[in-house]
Structure 1
Amino acid sequence: MKIVLVFLISMCAYSAGLKVETFNAGLAHTYVPFAKERLPYIIKDLKEKQSDVICLQEIWEKKDRKEIVKSLKDIYPYAHFTKIKQVRSKKSPTCKRKNLFGEGKFVSCILDKCKGKEGDEHTACILNTCGESMERLKDENRECAAGLIAQVGKSTISALFQVFNPFRGSSLFAYGGGNGLLVLSKKKIVKKEMIDFTDISNLNKRAALLVTLETGETVACTHLTANLADSVSYTGKFSSWKEENSKQIEVLLNTLSEKSSKVVLTGDFNCAFSTENLEGDWEDNCQKILDSGYENRMVSEASVCTFCSSNALNPANTKDIMIDHIFVKNAQTLDPRRTRDVKFSHESREMNLSDHFGISATIE
């Protein structure tokens, strides 16, 4: 009888599968509203609604990451993240005065159009109002342009200090050069890896964190380049934001092709499939993943937006898209669904946990 009981218990444990979730927490201070206020609610929700492995994105600041890991340690004893390390321009100063000041120059545009604005409003002004000036700067001095864009959320004085510093090159990535990724796991992690996209990233440093679990699965957690074509000029080494995203997908797929076990590829891919009720965005980039043998049942069977107009943190004219995904290879996906879509009230203001909703699925 004991043998039968043990057998049944082990079978139940096996059939339960591996519940994987991706959630872009939107803790981009000065860019996504109310990051500081939302953090305690995010931690509370992560405690109450659990998965076996969670891929978190946009945990940009070290103190936020530390608080999340510490608060969830009893539930998720295993974690994978990387050191926050800035990359700097090799030349100093990174910019010359003639690059930035004068008729049609970028900083002159900021001083004229964005004077008196602070925080989120100042950031939005820089990204949206002075784009043409930035395009000209990129053609003239691309590293200067990249250094300025990396100062997103900072004051004009702080940004200028970075690029005019004669003793040290400007920082080239926002948020201190971190990738914002954090993997939390209930299952023991037996191997940790990182795919570094620093050389093919612009504005935000991109990467993928890989964990191999004691049960054999490989989970890859990533956050790829976003479509900023309508808000900021591209200052990277490729022709566009889209091409940069595509290149990151190619490197990611080539690296994962060496894995023969069950592979879960999840995160914010910033590309979306068009469906009956959702718009597409860089769909051919996403299609490359399916063409490499991965499946995405959320798209085919339970298509819902993860970046939505209904989200209290997004403008009402936001197009409804699914840019957060769980792709699987050599495995089956069960019960794909949207997560983290609850609203809460903070100081009489209704808001969501993040500007994204999450996705979860059970992998067998």
Structure 2
Amino acid sequence: MLKSIEHYDERRDHIPSAISDLDADVVCLQEVWFEDDVKKIIKETRDSFPSSYSALHDDNGDLDTGNFNKPLCFGFRAYKRILCSLTKCSNTANNAEYIACAAERCGLMKLDQKCISCLILTPASSILQTCITDITQTVNSPGLLLLSKSPLRNPSTTRYIPDTKQVLPRSYLMADVERIGKVVCTHLTSNLGEYYEPLLSFASWEEQQAEEVDHLLTLTAPMTQVVLMGDLNTGPENAENGITGEFEENYNLLTSEGLSSLYNEDPGLCTWCKENPITDQSYNVRLLLDHVMVKGMNAVSAQRLLDDNIEGQSFPLSDHYAVGVTVDV
């Protein structure tokens, strides 16, 4: 069983136990943004998934547990730029205007990439503690974490655009898993409205995602057996299930090159759903964004998972439901 789950920070304490209970061989998580969460999940799921990998692991696949001696945002110039962004840009109308203001007036993109990521991923009320004063914290900027029952061989992390600072840098993890083959865990660019990556030349989020899809197709073309899993932020229209297409041309590119998605055919349910109380309720749509796509193997069943509310709560584990696919290997 292969599953893809999106991590939502407000439900962080419930995630390890939910993952441990899954009948899965490999799990791909997204939005595990900080070192503390990576360590917590790995520690509390180790009995079920003894192997793990993230961008915070070293070349040998071991998680560095050493302490750091300076915060993610360090130095007077960094503090000055952060204060400028929080004060001079606080009245902007949306994310695009805020990033443009912070970049043009305050030099946001001159900060270290890990500092930029921390500022974007941290609520304003917690920036002082998380980004400016904590000397032991680091950011898992791709937000990705792979867990596996079997050893993860030859693990690697790759940025889609490696040499340019980004507000939201995107990456993929890749590893060899016994009997399964290559596993690629990723979180592609999402539809965030008006485009706001100051240092990139794309005209839209869809165009940036198309570049990432092209990278994945080039990567997987020579592979005979591969699993692509994660929140791909693209999916087909399915009128029968009330699902709206999202960057559908990019999804069609993936499926036209040998990657198949049984889940899209059956059960074909939304994974980002307007009925979920923790989705952005201003978007009155159902989307199928999360996928486990396979090439060179037979997918025999698929299902939506973790779509019930947390026990004793009125909300589920995440704003995205999980996808599970069983393959015959």
Question: Could you state the TM-score of these two structures normalised by the residue count of structure 2?
Answer: 0.78
- The Cα shift of 1:324 comes to 0.6
- Deviations 1:149-205 (CA, angstroms, capped at 9, x unpaired): 86223549969xx9xxxxxxxxxxxx8352111111112333322322244673223
- The Cα shift of 1:264 comes to 0.6
- For 1:172, the equivalent position in structure 2 comes to none
- For 2:60, the equivalent position in structure 1 comes to none
Measured in 1, the distance between the counterparts of 2:182 and 2:40 equals 26
- For 1:324, the equivalent position in structure 2 comes to 290
- For 2:119, the equivalent position in structure 1 comes to 151
- For 2:158, the equivalent position in structure 1 comes to 195
- Given that residues 177 and 205 in structure 1 are in contact (C-alpha distance below 8 angstroms), is that contact kept between their aligned partners in structure 2? no
- For 2:3, the equivalent position in structure 1 comes to 21
Residue 278 of structure 1 aligns to a residue in which SS? coil
Residue 31 of structure 2 aligns to a residue in which SS? strand
- For 1:233, the equivalent position in structure 2 comes to 196
Of structures 1 and 2, the larger Rg is shown by 1
- For 1:256, the equivalent position in structure 2 comes to 220
- Deviations 1:225-281 (CA, angstroms, capped at 9, x unpaired): 121125x63324132222221111211221222322x21101011112111120111
* Partner amino acid, structure 2, of 1:151: L
- Given that residues 83 and 178 in structure 1 are in contact (C-alpha distance below 8 angstroms), is that contact kept between their aligned partners in structure 2? no
Residue 344 of structure 1 aligns to a residue in which SS? coil
Q: Unpaired runs of 5+ in structure 2?
A: 58-63, 65-71, 132-137
Measured in 2, the distance between the counterparts of 1:323 and 1:54 equals 17
Measured in 1, the distance between the counterparts of 2:252 and 2:8 equals 25
Measured in 2, the distance between the counterparts of 1:148 and 1:344 equals 32
The answer to whether 1:358 aligns with 2:322 is yes
Which range moved further: 65-74 or 213-222? 213-222
* Partner amino acid, structure 2, of 1:274: E
Identity of aligned residues (%): 23
- Given that residues 43 and 68 in structure 1 are in contact (C-alpha distance below 8 angstroms), is that contact kept between their aligned partners in structure 2? yes
* Partner amino acid, structure 2, of 1:306: T
Q: 1:343 to 1:216 in 2, by over 3 A?
A: closer
- Given that residues 337 and 359 in structure 1 are in contact (C-alpha distance below 8 angstroms), is that contact kept between their aligned partners in structure 2? yes
- Deviations 1:2-26 (CA, angstroms, capped at 9, x unpaired): xxxxxxxxxxxxxxxxx11111122
Which range moved further: 304-313 or 41-50? 41-50
Residue 40 of structure 2 aligns to a residue in which SS? helix
Count the aligned residue pairs: 300
- The Cα shift of 1:41 comes to 2.0
Q: Which of 233, 240, 250 lines up with 1:285 in the alignment?
A: 250
The residue correspondences of 1:125-164 to structure 2 (distance < 5 A) are 128-129=93-94, 131-132=96-97, 134-135=99-100, 143=109, 151-152=119-120, 153-155=122-124
- For 2:135, the equivalent position in structure 1 comes to none
* Partner amino acid, structure 2, of 1:312: P
Residue 187 of structure 1 aligns to a residue in which SS? coil
Q: 1:250 to 1:142 in 2, by over 3 A?
A: farther
- The Cα shift of 1:221 comes to 0.6
Measured in 2, the distance between the counterparts of 1:157 and 1:70 equals 25
* Partner amino acid, structure 2, of 1:108: K
Q: Which of 179, 182, 207 lines up with 2:142 in the alignment?
A: 179
- Deviations 1:262-314 (CA, angstroms, capped at 9, x unpaired): 21101011112111120111111122111211111211232111111111212
RMSD (Å), alpha carbons: 3.5
Q: 1:246 to 1:108 in 2, by over 3 A?
A: same
Residue 176 of structure 1 aligns to a residue in which SS? coil
- For 2:17, the equivalent position in structure 1 comes to 44
Residue 8 of structure 2 aligns to a residue in which SS? strand
The answer to whether 1:74 aligns with 2:50 is no
Measured in 2, the distance between the counterparts of 1:52 and 1:61 equals 24
- Given that residues 211 and 219 in structure 1 are in contact (C-alpha distance below 8 angstroms), is that contact kept between their aligned partners in structure 2? yes
- The Cα shift of 1:342 comes to 1.3
The answer to whether 1:274 aligns with 2:237 is yes
The residue correspondences of 1:48-59 to structure 2 (distance < 5 A) are 48-59=21-32
Measured in 2, the distance between the counterparts of 1:149 and 1:20 equals 29
Q: 1:241 to 1:106 in 2, by over 3 A?
A: farther
- The Cα shift of 1:65 comes to 1.3
Residue 253 of structure 1 aligns to a residue in which SS? helix
- For 2:168, the equivalent position in structure 1 comes to 204
Measured in 1, the distance between the counterparts of 2:231 and 2:164 equals 17
* Partner amino acid, structure 1, of 2:229: T
- The Cα shift of 1:136 comes to 6.5
The answer to whether 1:336 aligns with 2:265 is no
